[in-house]
Copies of this chain bind each other. A is one copy, B any other.
Amino acid sequence: MTIGASELKQQIASTQQHINTLLANTIDNLVALPTPLRDAMRHGVLLGGKRVRPFLVYAVGEALNVPKSALDKAAMAVECIHAYSLIHDDLPAMDDDELRRGQPTVHIAYDEATAILAGDALQSLAFELISEPHPHMQAQQQLALVQCLAKAAGYGGMCGGQAMDIAATGKAIDLDTLMTLHKLKTGALIECAVEMAVIMANVNADTQAQFRKYSANIGLAFQVHDDILDIIGDTEQLGKPQGSDLKSDKSTYPQLLGLDQAQQTAQKLVEQALTSVRDLPYNCDILEAFAMYIIERKQ
């Protein structure tokens, strides 16, 4: 049975609500200290957002019959890493953004030092969450989650991609470099969200490989479509000024390929993602619907 756009939207909204509650409770349970750090972490982690990474953890986990309670920590952890990266990316020394999703960024709502520390502490919190003793998980699995998240977040993943993005700003780069950049900067963490759910499911190597193909393709499609939205979207829906990539002189897929070709590339990536999960002996309807949503979304 195919899942329609409205059912998917409902499931995404339900995940958003669930993860927001979990994250808010986790932050609120941190011990009180005479500093605004906890509030700044809360602000940064609850700035809204699509919660794509937690959604993938739950969607893949549920397709593979992992109990939802065993997925919560991984979903929170991957979102803490994503949230910290946004806090640091928004800093004056990086993208210098004062607004994110229509709200003041952390260094505007607090100050730069607090924003740096809030990001740092959210990264630690991610690893704290997935290494806490858990009744439904084996140490071996949890350790694999840590390894997966650390690799995806670090030099060989998100941080390296962000550094490549900075190095590429204002320069002409080729398509291969742009793809590597995005595979690291945004793809690594999206792939990690899927991989963490797979780790908890103890599935065979072939299934693992199919899910890796799925996540690699949707990760890249996500970025290509983001670049397209930056040209054709409008500011109100994006939460950032339209054309901001052009203004900051960053290379984008539409710039390198032309808009039509970029749209075809995104389409092809999504088709590859669909192919990789279509014949698995699991109900992946929600993952198929999500892959299609990636290139249909308006924000």
A120 within 8 A of B: yes
Q: List the one stretch of A1-9, A12-20, A30-38, A219-227 in contact with chain B.
A: A30-38
Q: Are B121's CB and A159's CB within 8 A?
A: yes
Q: Are A121's CB and B177's CB within 8 A?
A: no
Known contacts A35-B160, A156-B31; decide if A93 and B120 are in contact (CB<8 Å).
no
A232 to B84, CA, bound (A): 40
* Mask of A119-131 contacts with B, CB within 8 angstroms, 1/0: 1110111011001
A143 to B146, CA, bound (A): 8
A162 to B84, CA, bound (A): 17
- A200: min CB distance to chain B, Å: 14
* Mask of A91-112 contacts with B, CB within 8 angstroms, 1/0: 1011000000000000000011
Contact residues in B for A162 (Cβ distance below 8 Å): 117
Known contacts A116-B116, A147-B132, A155-B121; decide if A35 and B167 are in contact (CB<8 Å).
yes
Q: Are B35's CB and A164's CB within 8 A?
A: yes
Known contacts A94-B116, A143-B131; decide if A124 and B167 are in contact (CB<8 Å).
no
Contact residues in B for A287 (Cβ distance below 8 Å): none
Q: How many residues on the A side are at the interface (Cβ–Cβ under 8 A)?
A: 58
A24 within 8 A of B: no
Contact residues in B for A38 (Cβ distance below 8 Å): 155
A37 to B184, CA, bound (A): 14
A153 within 8 A of B: yes
Known contacts A116-B116, A160-B33, A160-B121; decide if A41 and B94 are in contact (CB<8 Å).
no
A150 to B130, CA, bound (A): 10
Q: Given B113, B121, B157, which contacts A94 in the complex, CB threshold below 8 Å?
A: B113
A163 within 8 A of B: yes
A84 to B38, CA, bound (A): 20
Contact residues in B for A298 (Cβ distance below 8 Å): none
A166 to B120, CA, bound (A): 15
Contact residues in B for A33 (Cβ distance below 8 Å): 155, 160, 163-164, 184
Contact residues in B for A160 (Cβ distance below 8 Å): 33, 35, 37, 121
- Can you show 17 pairs from A to B with CB atoms below 8 A apart? A31-B156, A33-B164, A34-B168, A34-B177, A35-B167, A37-B155, A37-B159, A93-B116, A113-B166, A117-B159, A119-B120, A121-B155, A121-B159, A123-B124, A131-B143, A138-B139, A139-B139
